[in-house]
Amino acid sequence: MVWKLAQSPRMPTLYCAPGNAGIESLATCVPIKADDIVELKAFVQSEKIDLTVVGPEAPLALGIVDEFRKAKLKIFGPTKGAARIEASKVFSKEIMVSAKILTAQAQSFDRLASALAYLDQHELPVVIKADGLAQGKGVVVATTREEAKQAVRDSMEHAVFGQAGQRVLIEQFLDGEELTVMAFTDGRTVVPMLPAQDHKRVGDGDTGLNTGGMGAYCPAPLGTTALREQVTRQVLYPAVEALSRMGCPFQGVLYAGLMVVQGTPFVLEFNARMGDPETQVVLPLLKTDFLEVIEAIIEHRLDQITVDWHNETAVCVVMASGGYPGAYQTDRVIHGLPTETDATTMVFHAGTRRIGANVVTAGGRVLGITGRGKTLAFAQTEAYRVTKSIAFEGAHYRTDIAHRAFSRHA
């Protein structure tokens, strides 16, 4: 998002809190945590910042937009009430049911014994979801009853997700293909972005544990023009209208995580902000000035601008720390980072920081390497060309990002 804002013809001066080793070349990094609303507000006031753009979900769930608006500060993102569509899986499910949005059948539980008893008669596979924010790791697809019960115990009894897992959602398993459709909305108008496909599983061939995302590509051929129109009409508008009726209109980016079952889109989840790593393939294809879109949303005039896209494809490969999504080491020196910008590739930093002259790992997902070009094959080749030139101890990445698109084409 910083990279895209830096391309604005208006040449804004950018600050990023807390930022990382990649962002520091585009913005002044400020050592304030993203969820420290008091300090962020004080900084914005002292520096007379014109506009704040919120990236992650935690500050949205804590109500940063409400606090900034009270202080008459211009900010991009949904209010605390609207952000509940991501912050609570149970609330999100209630919105879908009330708005007649297609979704998997589910039941919520805040008592361990009741949840375990319910699992005794639930068909398999079954999906267990922590109700609150769990950084993309609060979902388990269980194929055995014991695995399902263990997931519930981990969440509710062992508190592996902290407070986020004190309530769980036990959900019907949907068998299909995942698709992400993000949309810009000012609370009245909805403008869908290009469709992307995330790769959640840690291993090639969609094997292993669920992660926050190991890569993505855009546009995904699964998201045909007809399907995108259907999603806009039957998912995005009903959700935005339902939140408005509840007195918490949604302004910002609404993310619909879909499962397409035999051509029909069901909603797996909503997010209240741009998705990671889908943003790394969607924003490079945005032709319209990102800053102009953001201001149109804040000023309720999204219907007055045209959002245009490049007729290209983008593929993003995530390089992760050894052990991710489990325990991993940090402060591994990263070698081979490109020193010059390239028209067909971008290296987006995620979990990195600088120690002296070295850029080192500082998280589970370390880098997102995006290739772009006229064809999917070219974009994929470019992404992997750069990925293979970068190294750090324990690094791993999937070698089959966009495989579903190629098999669909074949």
CB atoms inside a 10 Å sphere around CB 95 = 20
Let me know whether 153 and 209 are in one domain: no
304: domain CATH number? Answer: 3.30.470.20
216 and 252 co-located in one domain: yes
- Out of 8-17, 206-215, 254-263, which region has the weakest mean confidence (pLDDT)? 206-215
Residues 261, 121, single domain; the answer is no
> Per the structure block, which two tokens stand in for 316?
């993003």
Q: Is residue 188 part of a domain?
A: yes
Predicted local distance difference test score (pLDDT) of residue 342? 87
Number of domains the chain is built from: 3
170 and 140 in contact (C-beta within 8 Å)? no
In a domain, 194, yes or no: yes
Q: Verify that 164 and 184 share a domain, yes or no.
A: no
Instruction: Look up the pTM and report it.
Output: 0.94
Residues 33 and 46 in one domain: yes
* Boundary (domain end) residue, out of 155, 172, 189: 172
Mean pLDDT of 284-288: 98
Please state, in angstroms and rounded to a whole number, the distance separating the CA atoms of residues 330 and 369: 19
In whole angstroms, what separates CA 29 from the centre of its chain?
22
Q: Is residue 149, in this structure, part of any structural domain at all?
A: yes
- Where a domain ends, among 172, 196, 225? 172
Question: What whole-number percentage of the chain has pLDDT above 90?
Answer: 93
Is the pLDDT at 135 greater than 90? The verdict is no
Give which of 234, 215, 218 is closest to 277, Cα–Cα: 215
Q: How confident is the model at residue 138 (pLDDT cuts 50, 70, 90)?
A: confident
The answer on 243 and 346 residing in a single domain is yes
State whether 194 and 162 are in the same domain: no
Shared domain for 405 and 363, answered yes or no, is yes
Nearest to 82 by CA among 274, 210, 221, 251: 251
Mean pLDDT of all residues belonging to the chain: 95
Contact (Cβ atoms closer than 8 angstroms) between residue 63 and residue 240: no
Section 103-110 average pLDDT: 94
Residue whose tokens read 């030139």: 389
CATH number at 155 reads: 3.30.1490.20
75-76 vs 52-53, strand pairing mode = parallel
Asked whether residue 376 carries a pLDDT value surpassing 90, the answer given is: yes
| Res 382: pLDDT | 97
Q: Quote the pLDDT of residue 409.
A: 65
Tens digit of pLDDT for each residue in 311-356? 999 999 999 999 999 999 999 999 999 988 788 999 999 999 999 9
- Whether 95 is covered by a domain: the verdict is no
- pLDDT for 360 beyond 80: yes
pLDDT of the residue at 410: 61
CATH at 9? 3.40.50.20
> In this structure, are 352 and 260 located in the same domain?
yes
pLDDT above 80: residue 136: no
At which of 36, 64, 80 does a domain end?
Answer: 80
Residue 138: name the closest of 156, 115, 112 by CA. Answer: 156
pLDDT of residue 209: 86
Q: How confident is the model at residue 291 (pLDDT cuts 50, 70, 90)?
A: very high
Write out the residue range of the structural domain in which residue 152 sits: 105-172
Assigned domain for 163 exists: yes
pLDDT for residue 192 is more than 90: yes
pLDDT tens digits, one per residue of 35-71: 999 999 999 999 999 999 999 999 999 999 999 999 9
pLDDT of residue 215: 98
**Are 361 and 332 a contacting pair, CB within 8 Å?**
yes
Is the residue at 98 inside a domain?
A: no
Please give the full DSSP string across 357-410, using - where no structure is assigned.
Answer: TEEEE-SSEEEEEEEEESSHHHHHHHHHHHHHH-B-TT-B--S-TTHHHHHHH-
In this structure, the answer to whether residues 265 and 373 fall within a common structural domain is yes
Q: Are 195 and 164 in a shared domain?
A: no
Please state, in angstroms and rounded to a whole number, the distance separating the CA atoms of residues 256 and 129: 16
Closest CA relative to residue 231, chosen from 181, 196, 194, 193: 181
Q: Are 95 and 244 in contact (CB under 8 A)?
A: no
Answer whether residue 137 shows pLDDT above 80.
no
State the pLDDT at residue 210. Answer: 83
Number of other residues whose CB lies within 10 A of the CB of residue 292:
14
Structural tokens at position 119: 């699992």
Query: Rounded to 5, what percent of the chain is helix, strand, coil?
Result: 35, 25, 40
User: Does 156 lie in the same domain as 49?
Assistant: no
State the Cα–Cα distance between residues 314 and 318, nearest whole angstrom: 13
Average pLDDT of the segment spanning 173-199: 97
Residue 96 lies in a domain: no
Percentage of the chain beyond pLDDT 70 is 99
Residue 172 has pLDDT above 70, yes or no: yes
pLDDT single digits (tens) 230-239: 999 999 999 9
DSSP state of 275: -
- Structure tokens that stand for 255 in this block: 């993310």
pLDDT at 189: 97
Tokens found for residue 81: 């009430």
User: How crowded is residue 143: how many other Cβ atoms within 10 Å of its Cβ?
Assistant: 11
Answer yes or no: are the C-beta atoms of 78 and 250 closer than 8 Å. Answer: yes
